Structure 1
Amino acid sequence: MDSGPETRPDTRPEPDVVRLGLAGVGRIGALHARNLAALGPGDGNLPPVQLVIADAAAERAHTVAHRVGAASVPSVEALLDEGIDGLVIAAGTPSHPDLVRMGVDAEVAVFCEKPLAGDTAASLPVLEYVNARGGVVQMGHQRRFDAGYLAAKRLLQAGGLGWVHSFRAVTADMEPPPVGFLASSGGLFRDCSVHDFDILRWLTGREIVQVYAVGSNKGDPEIGRVGDIDTGLAVVTLDDGTVGTVSAARYNGSGHDVRLEIAGSRSTLLVGLDDTMAVRSAEPGVDFPSGRPPQSFADRFEAAYRAEMAAFVELILGRRDNPCTPADSVAASRVADAAQESLLTGLPVKLG
């Protein structure tokens, strides 16, 4: 599985303070702002982080900056003029290609929320640009830092499940994001299931070679009018013949539900099985799970998002290799594109 030539920045003396610029403080950007501002010695003995924020909406940047004790500037160009060590991109997807190029040209490490661009065709020139210039770009797939997925990877690598014959992945939001976001998100498989496609590649070390997708709309008709669905299911096949399903939903009243069941010849493992799981049992006398389910992706992956930002600082400092390269993200996006194509054509789509 090719993750590109990128490794880590050149080794250099560690600074007393790491200066980071954050571009975009919408829903995910505000979450990153809180986590970045809180990073420090307690997170793997990291140096303190000094944060500077920019957003197209200057008042929003100022408000978030004030809330987390950061500074704000009027533009990304001004961020780069601040002498930052790393640029975190959490602006809208259409801006990702230009912002990544700006960070690479400024010779700073870049963190970019997925995806690299709106689809694979638009991502490839950016990937080539990064590689040609030796850029360091970490992509945002936070599940790689979640304790359950990390434990599953260790068990898989140790052969604890035997040979894997199937899997079932679930990602379900409690309620849909604004229709305005969905109009430019690329569709349910690209903005939601892409996380499942990425984690399957990462966990198994295999490539997804075929996708067959179906979907429906039973909620807000505006979602359909902007070309999206609110429920989707993809049957996927890995290059070793393992089969599985990846389902996604925008209306899950029980809470935010993210799970992955991996079934092997020796044992079956379920990531996301705890007392906060967003399901109810129909069996008499069973009161599990009884905890409060997460209400959003930020609740479900709170610790993972913080660990992801800590990993980016470690990457800047030269302490680790890149945990998620642009090539990894593009590979997951290719599968999401194939799922979207299958949804539109009604036919299975093979990936080269």
Structure 2
Amino acid sequence: MRVGLLGLGRIGAFHAATLAAHPLVDELIVADPVRSSPYGRPGDPFETDAVVIATPTSTHAELLLKAIGRGIPVFCEKPVAITLAETLKVLEAGRGKHVQIGFQRRFDPGYVAAAAALRAGELGELHRVHLITADPAPPPAEYIPLSGGIYRDCHIHDFDILRWVTGREVVSVYAAGANRGADFFRAAGDVDTSVALLTMDDGTLVTVQGSRYNGAGYDVRMELAGTKGTRAVGLGPRAPLTSTEGLQPDGEPWPDFVTRFETAYVNEIDAFLRSTSSLCTIEDALAALRVAEACERSRREGRPVEVER
């Protein structure tokens, strides 16, 4: 199989190494205007059997439409697009096509185990969920105006994994945020600290918390509490937590998302190459984006927002 890869930034470089080592990949064609890779040769990534898109968010929709138009199976990092309108355009073009969106937490062993436990009834009736995504340090200032904001850029992963693990939909949100760090967040209309209360379609309450300044390390966790038991994802030996009762990490805390989700990134690319159907669809990405849009509107307007609206 010949695979084309667009984008050789941090996650693109990781995908390049993964693709080059995959037993189904005979040749890797890479394209990036400023970077090169030892794992592939330059060329036209659309003259291949499959395409992986790891370029900046603003380019996703155009590149997805190009791959879809040529009938090439395509994997694209989240999100499909910054706006709902662009996402809907790609959705319409991609109906019935092999398009997989990169929400890698679905392929992380911890989240897979939590979903299995919930569906097997081990937690009983689910009553409460808590999600946290906290970066150890903020991204570059120039990235923030293009990111779509903390809910679209960061928490969209929480919204997707929430839907996937629980099998339920978010119906309403109430979000808030604060600026406690650099001025460039405020200048871009964004926040560096975030919270949200989500209500699911079965009444389950979900709390979401985020930060761009979690100095202890990269912290991503999910807690599911039911009438029979509780499961936590991400509470391992490298979780950047120290308790007053003496619990502390056994190893170095996770430094970033690529290191924390290395296995998941490998698993999702493997699933894309081996499957003829999409394991994370454009519809899934749209559903997560709707929640993110609702949270951003709620934060700006200071009121609850129904996702359907």
Question: TM-score, normalised on structure 1?
Answer: 0.85
Residues in 1 aligned to 2:226 and 2:108: alpha-carbon distance in whole angstroms: 21
Residues in 2 aligned to 1:103 and 1:203: alpha-carbon distance in whole angstroms: 30
Q: Does 1:189 align with 2:151?
A: yes
Asked whether the 8 Å contact 1:280–1:288 carries over to 2, the reply is: yes
Asked whether the 8 Å contact 1:171–1:249 carries over to 2, the reply is: yes
Q: Which amino acid aligns with 2:33?
A: A
Match of 2:267 in 1: 307
Match of 2:183 in 1: 221
Match of 2:195 in 1: 233
Q: Which amino acid aligns with 2:79?
A: P
* Deviation of the 1:287 alpha carbon: 4.0
Match of 2:81 in 1: 117
Residues in 2 aligned to 1:174 and 1:194: alpha-carbon distance in whole angstroms: 18
* Deviation of the 1:182 alpha carbon: 1.1
Match of 1:280 in 2: 242
Structure 1 residue aligned with 2:69, among 95, 100, 105? 105
* Deviation of the 1:289 alpha carbon: 2.6
Asked whether the 8 Å contact 2:168–2:202 carries over to 1, the reply is: yes
Asked whether the 8 Å contact 2:53–2:77 carries over to 1, the reply is: yes
Long gaps (5+) in structure 2 = none
Asked whether the 8 Å contact 1:36–1:49 carries over to 2, the reply is: no
Match of 1:293 in 2: 253
Q: Which amino acid aligns with 2:16?
A: A
Residues in 1 aligned to 2:124 and 2:247: alpha-carbon distance in whole angstroms: 31
Q: Which amino acid aligns with 1:181?
A: Y
**TM superposition outliers: structure 1 runs of 4+ over 6 Å:** none
* Deviation of the 1:323 alpha carbon: 1.0
* Deviation of the 1:98 alpha carbon: 1.1
Q: Which amino acid aligns with 1:328?
A: D
Name the Cα RMSD after superposition. 1.1
Structure 2 residue aligned with 1:50, among 27, 38, 55? 27
* Deviation of the 1:288 alpha carbon: 3.3
* Deviation of the 1:291 alpha carbon: 1.6
Q: Does 1:79 align with 2:45?
A: yes
| Secondary structure of the structure 2 residue equivalent to 1:80 | coil
Q: Does 1:26 align with 2:9?
A: yes
* Deviation of the 1:290 alpha carbon: 2.4
Residues in 2 aligned to 1:258 and 1:177: alpha-carbon distance in whole angstroms: 17
Asked whether the 8 Å contact 2:18–2:266 carries over to 1, the reply is: yes
Residues in 2 aligned to 1:287 and 1:204: alpha-carbon distance in whole angstroms: 29
Residues in 2 aligned to 1:49 and 1:300: alpha-carbon distance in whole angstroms: 28
Residues in 2 aligned to 1:265 and 1:49: alpha-carbon distance in whole angstroms: 50
Long gaps (5+) in structure 1 = 1-17, 41-46
| Secondary structure of the structure 2 residue equivalent to 1:279 | coil
Residues in 2 aligned to 1:166 and 1:137: alpha-carbon distance in whole angstroms: 32
Asked whether the 8 Å contact 2:241–2:248 carries over to 1, the reply is: no
Asked whether the 8 Å contact 2:19–2:25 carries over to 1, the reply is: no
Q: Does 1:35 align with 2:18?
A: yes
Match runs of 1:45-194 below 5 Å: 47-57=24-34, 60=35, 62=36, 64=37, 66=38, 68=39, 70-73=40-43, 78-81=44-47, 84-131=48-95, 134-194=96-156
Match of 1:246 in 2: 208
Q: Which amino acid aligns with 1:53?
A: V
Cα shift readout 1:228-248 (whole Å, capped 9, x = no counterpart): 111100100000000011111
Match runs of 1:299-338 below 5 Å: 299-315=259-275, 318=276, 321-338=277-294
Q: 1:236 to 1:351 in 2, by over 3 A?
A: same
Cα shift readout 1:278-302 (whole Å, capped 9, x = no counterpart): 111112xx24332211100001101
| Secondary structure of the structure 1 residue equivalent to 2:148 | coil
Q: Which amino acid aligns with 1:325?
A: T
Residues in 1 aligned to 2:32 and 2:304: alpha-carbon distance in whole angstroms: 41
Question: TM-score, normalised on structure 2?
Answer: 0.97
Asked whether the 8 Å contact 1:119–1:334 carries over to 2, the reply is: no
Cα shift readout 1:57-111 (whole Å, capped 9, x = no counterpart): 2xx1x2x2x2x2x1113xxxx2223xx1111111111111110111011111000
Q: Does 1:271 align with 2:227?
A: no
Residues in 1 aligned to 2:108 and 2:93: alpha-carbon distance in whole angstroms: 30
Residues in 2 aligned to 1:192 and 1:236: alpha-carbon distance in whole angstroms: 16
Asked whether the 8 Å contact 1:230–1:250 carries over to 2, the reply is: yes
Residues in 2 aligned to 1:97 and 1:289: alpha-carbon distance in whole angstroms: 40
Q: Whose Rg is larger?
A: 1
Match of 1:5 in 2: none
